[in-house]
Structure 1
Amino acid sequence: MLKSYSQILLNLLLGITALVSIGVGFLWWYPFELLSHGRVYYFLVSLVITIGILCAWLAGIRWQGTLFFALALLAFNSVWILPWYLPNSHQGRGESLRIIEFNINIQNTQLTRVANLVEQQKPDIAVLIEISPPAMKKLTNHLQDTLPFAYRTRGGGLAVFSRFGLVNPQGKTLSAGTILTTSVKTATKNITLVAAHPSVPIKPDVFAKRNTALAEVTQYLQAQKYKRLIFAGDLNLTPWSPYYKRLVEKTGLHNTKLGFGVEPSWIEPTTYVHLPAWIVGVIKLPIDHIFVSNDIKVVDCKTIKGGNSDHRMLLSDLVI
């Protein structure tokens, strides 16, 4: 009797996990789209269940149908996760370029720690997000020897610091927010850099605003398709959202994390995040991204914790 109840419970858990795992890829509406961001967790749940059933099988409890169901679900969820860890051939030779993207958080007052973390990585370009005017002043002073060229948009809190000269940096005001655009002249190449930070989709109105911002920046990126392009930002979007899929399909850009892991960037403990420790420890979402056009190659990509930010810094080594 206990075995029967256990099998029913496992099948129920598998059914719920399967329903969510399969359904979220087709749900564009609030709040269901938010479930798409839990792909890693659905994979882990299906993995744990499958291991449990295999252990039971070895102990003589043969739930053949349940095992087949669990293996099928594990295989399905693996399709969404494993490609991020498979070796990627997007590499080549040329001029090296290191870029970081880092949401420092507007509440973060420990700007010296932020600047030190940036300098430790020795980037050629740093895209920083949620930068207030006072923060921009302090960071500019601190980074002027290593990243002497800097620009901040009037709206949106977007900033870029560069070892190379910035050509025509500006903030473009769209209906759903501001994006940063600039050309960067390296030693041998000209690069178009675009940065964005759509709204956090925690309510229906800002969910719609985020989606509008993504559509608008997608349209802008499409207009730059013949340029050597880097697009970076905290998009408040994981790679498993249908809105992410649409952005990538329409722009043809390459996520620098492919081949280097999912690399979750949010949420990290800070002096100003007042959430239960277990929530901060469990919730890890890859919402920060760096994309490149196909004529830019990727050597490495990783996240780095520090700077008293609730985000990890995202670092990509490129070849242009």
Structure 2
Amino acid sequence: MLKSYSQILLNLLLGITALLSISVGFLWWYPFELLSHGRVYCFLVSLLITIGILFAWLAGIRWQGTLFFALALLAFNSVWILPWYLPNSHQGRGESLRIIEFNINIQNTQLTRVANLVEQQKPDIAVLIEISPPAMKELTKHLQDTLPFAYRTPGGGLAVFSRFRLVNPQGKTLSAGTILTTSVKTGTKNIALVAAHPSVPIKPDVFAKRNTALAEVTQYLQTQKDKKLIFAGDLNLTPWSPYYKRLVEKTGLHNTKLGFGVEPSWIEPTTYVQLPALIISVIKLPIDHIFVSNDIKVVDCKTIKGGNSDHRMLLSDLVI
């Protein structure tokens, strides 16, 4: 009897996981789209269930139908996760460029730690998010020797620090927010750089605003297709959202994390984030991204913890 109840409960758990696994990523509406960001957790749950059933099998409990169901669900979720860890054709070698993207958090006052973390990575370009005017002044002072060219948008809190000269940096004000655009002259190459930070989709109105911002930046990126292009930012969006899929399909850009792992970047413990330690340790979402055009290759991509930010820094080594 106990085995029967256990199998019923296990099948129920599998059914719920299957429903979530199949539906997430295909629902465009609030709040259902937010479920898409839990794709990794669907994979982990299906993996743990499968392992549990296999151990039960070794113990003599033969739940063939349940095992088949679990394996099928695991295979389905693997399709969404494993490609991020497989070698990718965009990996290559040649003239290098190191870029970082880092949301420092507007509440973060430990700017010396931020600057030290940036300098330790020795980037050629640093895209920093949630930069207030006082923070820009402080970071410019710290980074002027290594990244002498800097610009901050008048609105939106977007900033770029560069070892190379910035050509025509500006903040473009769109209906749903500001994006940073500039050309970066590396010496032999001219690169178009775009940065964005759409709204956090925690309520229906800001959910709609985020989606509008994504649509507008997508439209702008489409006008830059004839250039070497880098697009970076905290998009408040994971790779399993239908809005992410639409951005990639319309722009043709390549996520530098492909082949190097999912690389979750949020959330991390800080001196100002007041959340239970369990939540911080469990919730890990890949919402920071660096995209490149097809003529730019990727050598490495990883996240780096530090700087008293609730985000991890995202670092990509590129071949331009």
SS of residue paired to 1:181 = strand
**Which residue of structure 2 lines up, in the alignment, with residue 104 of structure 1?**
104
2:260 and 2:20 map into 1 onto residues whose CA distance is 26
Give yes or no for contact 2:24–2:39 (8 Å, CA) kept in 1: no
Gapped regions of structure 1 (runs ≥ 5): none
1:92 and 1:78 map into 2 onto residues whose CA distance is 26
Q: Which ranges of 4 or more aligned residues in structure 1 deviate by more than 4 Å?
A: none
Same amino acid, percent of matched pairs? 94
Matching of residue 93 in structure 1 with residue 99 in structure 2: no
Q: Deviations over 1:238-266 (max 9, x none)?
A: 00000000000000000000000000000
86-95 or 272-281, which deviates more? 86-95
Q: Deviations over 1:72-102 (max 9, x none)?
A: 0000000000000001121334321000000
Q: Deviations over 1:279-306 (max 9, x none)?
A: 0000000000000000000000000000
Aligned Cα root-mean-square deviation (Å): 0.5
SS of residue paired to 2:178 = strand
**Which residue of structure 2 lines up, in the alignment, with residue 291 of structure 1?**
291
Gapped regions of structure 2 (runs ≥ 5): none
Give yes or no for contact 1:153–1:170 (8 Å, CA) kept in 2: yes
SS of residue paired to 1:26 = coil
TM-score normalised by structure 1 residue count:
0.99
SS of residue paired to 2:215 = helix
Q: Deviations over 1:4-31 (max 9, x none)?
A: 0000000000000000100112100000
CA shift at 1:37, angstroms? 0.2
SS of residue paired to 2:24 = helix
SS of residue paired to 2:295 = coil
- Where does 1:140-179 land on structure 2 (aligned, <5 Å)? 140-179=140-179
Give yes or no for contact 1:232–1:290 (8 Å, CA) kept in 2: yes
**Which residue of structure 2 lines up, in the alignment, with residue 189 of structure 1?**
189
Q: Deviations over 1:53-74 (max 9, x none)?
A: 0110111100000000000000
Give yes or no for contact 2:132–2:157 (8 Å, CA) kept in 1: yes
Q: Deviations over 1:158-184 (max 9, x none)?
A: 000000000000000000000000000
SS of residue paired to 1:113 = helix
SS of residue paired to 2:302 = strand
The total of aligned residue pairs comes to 320
**Which residue of structure 1 lines up, in the alignment, with residue 82 of structure 2?**
82
Give yes or no for contact 1:95–1:188 (8 Å, CA) kept in 2: no
Q: Deviations over 1:190-240 (max 9, x none)?
A: 000000000000000000000000000000000100100000000000000
1:138 and 1:189 map into 2 onto residues whose CA distance is 30
CA shift at 1:185, angstroms? 0.1
Give yes or no for contact 1:127–1:232 (8 Å, CA) kept in 2: yes
TM-score normalised by structure 2 residue count:
0.99
Give yes or no for contact 2:103–2:128 (8 Å, CA) kept in 1: yes
1:15 and 1:65 map into 2 onto residues whose CA distance is 13
SS of residue paired to 1:155 = coil
SS of residue paired to 1:25 = coil
2:114 and 2:34 map into 1 onto residues whose CA distance is 30
1:175 and 1:181 map into 2 onto residues whose CA distance is 16
CA shift at 1:152, angstroms? 0.1
- Where does 1:46-85 land on structure 2 (aligned, <5 Å)? 46-85=46-85
